[in-house]
Structure formats: structure tokens, C-alpha cells
Amino acid sequence: MGGGVIGPGRLSPRQKMINLMYLVLTALLALNVSKDILEAFVRVNNSLIQTNISFTAQNAKLYEEFEKQLAVNRAKVKPYYDATIIAKQYTQEIYDSITELKKRIIAVCDKHNPSVKEEKDMIEAKLANVALISAKDNYDEPTRIMVGGGNDPSVGDARKLKMKLEDYRNKLLELIKNPNLSVLNREKIIQDLGDLGLKTNDPKEEELSEDEKKDPASRWWETRNFYHNVSIATLTILTNLQNDVRNAEAKILNTLFSQISAADFKFDTLAGKIIPKSSYIIQGDKYEADIFVAAFSTTENPQIFVGDGYDSVKQELTGKVDSVPVQRGVGRYVIPAGGVGLRKFSALIKVKKPGVDGSQPDHWKYYPIKNVEYRVAPPMAVVSPTKMNVLYRGIDNPVSISAAGVSAEDIVASISNGTLASQGGGNFIARPGSGDKSSVSVSAKMGKTSRQMGQPFEFRVKDVPDPVPTLMIRDPGKPEQKLSGIIKLKQLGSANLDIVALLENFAFDLSFVITKFKLVMQTPGGDYVEYEATGNKFTAKQKEMMKVARANQRISFEGINAKGPDGKNRSLPNIGYKVVP
């Protein structure tokens, strides 16, 4: 019989971080509903959905394990198995109830008719991907649905939801309290389970700030969670509540499973287990994991060691080896999260055999756990401009790509119109083609598979704008002087006078070279002459003519051509100057 804890039972640091994120974002929404904040809620909600999927899968494995144990010893396991079937029914009922509430909010905010099949399909699609919701910033309808006007907590679906959560929690605890079910240390277990993580209590008076005491909406669970929240925030909170439901289900399943052989002293199967709080760590945080032998005795602690790797031939750890402190049969392994990237370690658990003192090597049973992986990621914020999604043709466009929970080396990106070259560290160079749009698709390598990361990012494609021709004085030791409309006689004769093409106030620092131009002016005899130069330097004839210019005379530069980094030859507008003393 197995007695180990399987699946989620406590919230991981990542899950706690997600919970904290939507609370912070809710506060930010009260100040300013920006697109960045709405998109942040989308990312949090999607992450919660993935956690939901993971919780559901792990709980499904627990139900499968109960069925296996039932086949081994039906008489012993059936009372616990029957309790899990009831827990599964309770859980699915409230989970589906929250899902229907989310669908209703989506339908009302985006004005869908659920009785029309096409509209119903759209609601389902938006439920799966909240980024598709149009009215993410609508707070009137979610508030009306959940709490009405906000001055009476009994009005709205939030009160009904609260009652359902409390009823669900009580029903799960009654399964453990059932006197017909054998539960070792029942009172202690019930005390440890507490509220199963389903916190629905109104805040106490001493917990309220002075400002909150003046606001009736701050006094009730319903309004604190759902009053005046935009739709995307309300949906995120509901998704997190579904996470809490799955986690409560896992706690009950783990408790029931552990009781199958709780009174047994000997076990037919022992297996080493490592349960990390999270395998995705922000740089500067800590990696934490519980290391233990399933179905162990809390009166006999195992010995636990960790190292860089494990040699299966010698049956020993390799690299730097450290011991892990153990309490009640569980080792808590804590190390700083240093450099960014994938990290690995192995563990060796030594359990003393029954009836021996442990003084000899053969008195111990060894359980290795090989190549446990976790990933350290840097603290990161993604800022996406909303009006600058432009790629320029003919030049290198730097693009930075990141995905939450995915290291830079596991990101794969492609572009629909042009080329996209990786520069490492999540940095890419995009060179768009001849079309007027380009789409960048991003996927992530996850083990042996690849997963698409959201919808393609669309960019407009434009040509680099033309530069502006002008005359420039570059005297040694002095700042460059750009001439506009007026030129002095002494400047005309300067050896440091150049004609240049400038592209100012542009996102990229690009250089253009004048390839040809003509000087057009009037001679002292009254005739107009023009002299052409190839390149960006004045010819000897042009310099000679400029030396005979007179005050109040006008000279112009025409037929100006320039070439930029995109290799395109451009015809630029004429420029004229008035000569002054």
C-alpha cells in the first residue's frame, strides 16, 4: 500500500507570486486602467489556467492511484476510495459553477448571446484565451453581476459564490470527520487542514486601515474581491478561486491516501520523492524542495545528501556533496538561486533497515533521485509600445523577445515577411521584405516538444524616410554648425564647408552619403551657371564660383542624390541660401 503525498497540497512560491500579482494589478487598476495593466492580467490569468491544468492532471493521477490500491486490497481501500469519489463530485460541481459564472461575465461584457451556437463558441474561445475579450476594461457589468451596487454584500453572485465555497469546504472536511472512516490522529489532521486554503472570511475590524473603515465595501469578502473591478481582473480572480478549489481537492485526496496505510508499520514499497515548491525561480530568490521517502515513519529520520550528480555504477553522489537537515522524515533543501539558466542536482536518501542500529553500511537502504532540474530566470518586466510596432525595410531592426517561464535559449521565433536572426539572450535582428506587414511567431521548446506562445505579433513595414540636405560648417575644435537659409560670405570660402544629408528625430541612428549635387548661382556678369559634383565634396570649380559670390545674392544646390544604409539611391529636394556679409 502507498502512503505518500502526491500532487498539489500547498501553494508554491510561483502560485503565491501569481496571487500577489493580481492583487497588485487590481490596486493599479484603481489608479489608471492602461493597456499594459490589462495585458498583465491576461498573462496572470493564462498562467493560472496552466496551473489549473497541472493541478487537474496531478489530481487525476491520485484518483488513478486510488483505483490501483483498490485492486490490491478492496476491503481496506474501498471506504477511502468512496470518499474520493464524493470529493470529486463536490469539486466538479463548484468548479463548473465558477466556469459558468466566467462565461456569463464574458457574454455580458462582450454582448454575446449564449443561445446562438456561433456566439456560444466565441464565449468558449474567450474563456480559453482571455486575450480575445474585447471589453477587458469594463467594470460596470462585472460589478453589477457580482455585487450589485456594492453597498449590500448579499446582492449579486459573489454572495452565492461565497456560500458555495463555504459549503464545499465544510463538505470536504466532513469526509475526514466521518466516524465510519478510520483516520489516525483525526483531530490533528483536521486542525492542519484548517480552511483548506478557501478563505472567505470578512476582514476583522483591526485589520482595516483608517481609509477602509470609512468605506463599507472594504468590510466584506464579496466587495473586497469583486467591487469595481474590470472584467479581466474579475475573471482572473475567479480563475484563481478555481485553483484554490483544485488545491483543496488535492489536500483531501492526499489526506485520504495517506490514511490507507497510516496504521501500518511495515511497507511493501518505498520510493524517494522530491517536491519542489517551484521549478521556476526568479534570480535572487531561493530554490526550495521537500525530499523524503514515501510511506516513511516519522519516528525514524532518514539521512539525505545532495550532490551535482549520481554515479549509478558506484552508487554514490558526485561533485560537491552536502547533507540536508531532516525533520519528521522530511528533508528541506534550500540553496540560493544564483546564475540564470538550467540547474541540476541529484539526491541520495539512506533509510535504516528495521531491527538494526545503523552502524554498518548494509544496515541502510539507498534511494537515489537523479538529475532533478529547475530553472533560474532573471527578474524581468516586458514593456510593449502600442504605437511603434514598425519595422523598417533595408536596415537591421533589433527585436527583444521573452516569454514568462521560458529561458532565452528555449525561445524560437520566425517572421512571415523577411528574415529574423537570433543574437542570443532573447535578442533578434529583423529585416522585413517587400510587403507592408510582417508577423513574428514565437514558440518555446519544452522538453521534446514545442509550444506556440500566444498569437503572432504583427508589425507594419515601412521604408526609411528621406533625409534632409543641408550645408554644415565643421570647424576644428568647435561644435558643428548646421546652416539654414542664410550663409555668410566667409563661410562660402571655408574649407570646412560640407553638404550633408541628415535624418533627424528618427528611431535609428542612420548615416546617408551625398552621391551627387549641383551648385546653381549667378555670375558677376549676370549669367546663371551650374556646376555638378560627384560625391559629397565641392569641386574646384564650385569653390571658385562661391568665392565670387556677393552679399544679398542667392545660391542653390539642386539635383541632390544620397544613399543610405539600405542601399537605396534617393533624390532629395533642392535647398537655397541667401548670402549675407
pLDDT of residue 30: 47
pLDDT band of 40, cuts 50, 70, 90 = confident
Q: What is the mean pLDDT of residues 259-288?
A: 60
Q: How far apart are CA 553 and CA 60, in angstroms?
A: 90
> Total structural domains in the chain?
4
Per-residue pLDDT of 315-360, as tens digits, reads 889 998 999 998 877 788 888 876 767 778 899 888 877 656 677 8
Contacts of 325 (CB under 8 A, 6+ apart): 331, 332
3-state secondary structure of 311: strand
Q: Give the residue carrying C-alpha cell 533543501.
A: 333
Please give the DSSP secondary-structure letter assigned to residue 574: P
Q: What is the mean pLDDT of residues 50-60?
A: 91
Helix pair angle (13-31, 35-72), 10° resolution: 150
Regarding whether 77 and 164 lie in a shared domain, the answer is yes
Flag whether 312 is in a domain: yes
Regarding whether 278 and 226 lie in a shared domain, the answer is no
Regarding whether 269 and 242 lie in a shared domain, the answer is no
Q: How far apart are CA 84 and CA 86, in angstroms?
A: 5
Q: How far apart are CA 133 and CA 249, in angstroms?
A: 30
Flag whether 412 is in a domain: yes
Q: Which range (133-147, 399-413, 463-477) has the least confidence?
A: 399-413
Regarding whether 535 and 429 lie in a shared domain, the answer is no
Regarding whether 271 and 259 lie in a shared domain, the answer is no
pLDDT of residue 370: 87
Q: How far apart are CA 38 and CA 41, in angstroms?
A: 5
- Count the residues in the chain: 581
Q: Phi and psi of 307, rounded to 5°? A: -150, 180
Q: Kind of pairing, strands 457-463 and 449-452?
A: unpaired
Flag whether 152 is in a domain: yes
Regarding whether 116 and 210 lie in a shared domain, the answer is yes
The pLDDT of residue 41 is above 60: yes
Please give the DSSP secondary-structure letter assigned to residue 361: G
How would you write 74-91 as a 3-class SS string? HHHHHHHHHHHHHHHHHH
The pLDDT of residue 264 is above 50: no
Q: Give the residue carrying C-alpha cell 473603515.
A: 213
Regarding whether 426 and 337 lie in a shared domain, the answer is no
Q: How far apart are CA 45 and CA 198, in angstroms?
A: 19
Question: The CATH number of the domain where 455 resides is what?
Answer: 2.60.40
Domain boundary among 379, 406, 426: 379
Regarding whether 400 and 345 lie in a shared domain, the answer is no
Q: How far apart are CA 51 and CA 247, in angstroms?
A: 10
Flag whether 254 is in a domain: yes
Flag whether 350 is in a domain: yes
Rounded percentage of the chain residues whose pLDDT exceeds 70? 85
Q: Which domain holds residue 181?
A: 1-263
Secondary element (H or E) of residue 478: none
Contact 243, 12 (CB under 8 A): no
Per-residue pLDDT of 10-26, as tens digits, reads 555 554 555 555 455 55
Domain boundary among 379, 412, 447: 379
Flag whether 384 is in a domain: no
Q: Which range (18-22, 75-79, 305-309) has the least confidence?
A: 18-22
Question: The CATH number of the domain where 313 resides is what?
Answer: 2.60.40.10
Q: Which range (324-328, 455-459, 513-517) has the least confidence?
A: 324-328
Helices (H), 465-539: 489-492
Q: How far apart are CA 73 and CA 14, in angstroms?
A: 38
How would you write 103-170 as a 3-class SS string? HHHHHHHCCCCCCCHHHHHHHHHHHHCHHHCCCCCCCHHHHHHHHCCCCCCCCCHHHHHHHHHHHHHH
Per-residue pLDDT of 381-427, as tens digits, reads 454 444 468 999 989 989 888 877 677 888 899 999 999 999 988 89
Domain boundary among 226, 248, 263: 263
Per-residue pLDDT of 146-191, as tens digits, reads 998 767 778 889 999 999 999 999 999 999 999 989 888 889 999 9
Distances in Å between the Cα of 548 and the Cα atoms of 489, 493, 519, 536, 556 are 9, 9, 13, 21, 15
Q: How far apart are CA 179 and CA 192, in angstroms?
A: 18
Regarding whether 494 and 478 lie in a shared domain, the answer is yes
Regarding whether 493 and 373 lie in a shared domain, the answer is no
Regarding whether 491 and 481 lie in a shared domain, the answer is yes
Regarding whether 207 and 81 lie in a shared domain, the answer is yes
Long-range contacts of 485-491 (CB under 8 A, 24+ apart): 485/576, 485/577, 485/578, 486/577, 486/578, 486/580, 487/555, 487/577, 487/578, 487/579, 487/580, 488/579, 488/580, 488/581, 489/549, 489/551, 489/579, 489/580, 489/581
Pick the residue with more confidence: 91 or 302? 91
Q: How far apart are CA 394 and CA 412, in angstroms?
A: 23
Q: What is the mean pLDDT of residues 229-254?
A: 93
Flag whether 385 is in a domain: no
Flag whether 81 is in a domain: yes
Provide the β-strand partners of residue 533: 517
